[in-house]
Chain A
């Protein structure tokens, strides 16, 4: 999980990792394969192993929910129409989204869009799942649903998931290995127990920014 203030460079790091932004220095390794040393086809092969949940969902406006989920399956498999539909329905059921197959993204709520995006991301069974602020614009209850869904899918499919967030509820709920980014640099690294006990000033300012968290700190 990568956390940090707005503008600290979280999304930029994510975009560098998935190859949407070029890097100035360093390397990005996917199971030992240096992404930026690969040619166009090599990068394409790695990207087929990546599922990504964008901040706004990035669903294709012109396609229905089912078509959105079927799209990557159609692109990269030779399954029959009914097999593709079955796989899409399985993924949609997995994210608890039934009877929405024929709706368009404009007809969906924010939480439903995120769930469709997750279903699309897992449709071709990725090895890596990247989530850019999965809770942005969602109410606390829906945020928890999305967080739990990401956690369940990560464990169920045994995939590596990276979540970018500035939501401390998510950090406490599903955070495993946490990286704090400050002014574009890695500032702190640890797990969720350590982050609550750290005396790093910048991390504390971020974690205990709300009155509720400050009160929680004094109580415990």
Chain B
């Protein structure tokens, strides 16, 4: 029963969040504000994680190439496909669920317990629309950009460590990343990142919005938001992979 209650309440909240805005220009400003906070503010962490992921995949793949029959350019292929298909969309989204999700849940949760959301409602403002809608739009718009950025940096990180450590030559790596490239893989990754972005923004927002109590509950909402959004990302990763790649 509990799960149905939460599902129902979540969908009602999302429906209300997408209701017609009171003043469109203010919502547009809010979307840009959120793009800056949630998107631009995540560039650093996404860059660091992507470079290291690409580097580690390169070294691990090269280390496991024991057969002389396997060409070394396959390192480039493995790095490209790993980054595009899984690491950039899924792992970076999980990291963002932690960073952005906890920030969204605690921001909205604090606003709830300090009566700021009540203040919005009293003013006749749709609080869910004003607070949640811009975060979802900003996330769904900007996360795919972050994911593309992550793909490039991951592959660049792999190239840099591969060439510097001598496990693969520059020519072999570049040949590898261009070998049998399928543009659909990028579209698949962008579809996944769009769905994950919706989860990253909406699930923690739901937990923050329905926070009851004080500071302790804000912390709990933040944790719940991150845990549930991470689990949903993994579940939708499987579902979308099954639907789009098989």
Contacts and interface: CB of A to CB of B under 8 A. Distances in A.
Interface string A12-43: 00010011100000000000000000000000
Contact of A74 (B23, B115, B122): B23
Given A58-B114, A61-B116, A75-B26, A44 B122 contact: no
B195 interface: no
B124 A47 contact: yes
Interface string A51-80: 010111011110000000001101110000
B62 interface: no
Interface in A116-167: none
Interface in B184-205: none
Nearest to B118: A20
- Chain B interface residue number, banded: 10 to 19
Interface string B22-56: 11001000000000000000000000000000000
Contacts of B111: 60-61
Contacts of B124: 44-48, 50, 76
A71 B119 CA distance: 11
A72 B116 contact: no
B114 A20 contact: no
B129 to A, nearest CB: 12
A15 B115 CA distance: 12
A18 B125 contact: no
Interface in B103-133: 110-111, 114-116, 118-119, 121-125
Nearest to B29: A74
B123 A56 contact: no
Interface of A: 15, 18-20, 44-48, 50, 52, 54-56, 58-61, 71-72, 74-76
